[in-house]
A = this chain, B = another copy of it.
Amino acid sequence: MKIIDDNIIINSDNIKSQMRKGILEYCILSILERNGEAYASAIISELKDAKMIVVEGTLYPLLTRQKNQGLLKYRWEESKQGPPRKYYSLTEKGKLTLKELDNVWNDIVITINKIKTNENYFNNVKIHCDDM
């Protein structure tokens, strides 16, 4: 929440949480791609480091959803400091979906740029790797 003056109040927290919708899924897959596997609390820590604050009640249903969609699989592992952990990793479908999400994300970044500048970005791009 940001207050500009007495009359203008901008709820930037809500703005941010709305903008993140759908991107969170992309973040989870990306984190699992880089780490190989991870359990929920570790994922939350990493998201927090990247300033993408997420709470348990958001992450757990998301992981379950992605698992049910066949994007993730998990294995149980005992922990010496608490209850057992579910270590999630990408399935083959998850890897392919992540590639799709990479493309979608790149498209969106290009789109925003186009809207901000009203120019075409097909030659001198560099806004984002399109040669991947």
Contacts and interface: CB of A to CB of B under 8 A. Distances in A.
A10 B31 CA distance: 20
The number of times this chain is found in the oligomer is: 2
B105 A19 contact: yes
A18 B111 CA distance: 15
A94 B127 CA distance: 26
Q: At the interface, is chain A mostly helix, strand, loop or mixed? A: helix
A1 to B, nearest CB: 11
A75 interface: no
Contact of A108 (B19, B70, B104): B19
A12 B93 contact: no
Given A34-B118, A52-B115, A129-B128, A96 B25 contact: no
A113 to B, nearest CB: 9
Interface string A75-105: 0000000000000000011001100110011
Contacts of A129: 126-130, 132
Contact of A104 (B16, B111, B128, B132): B16
A13 to B, nearest CB: 10
Interface string A102-124: 00110111111011101000000
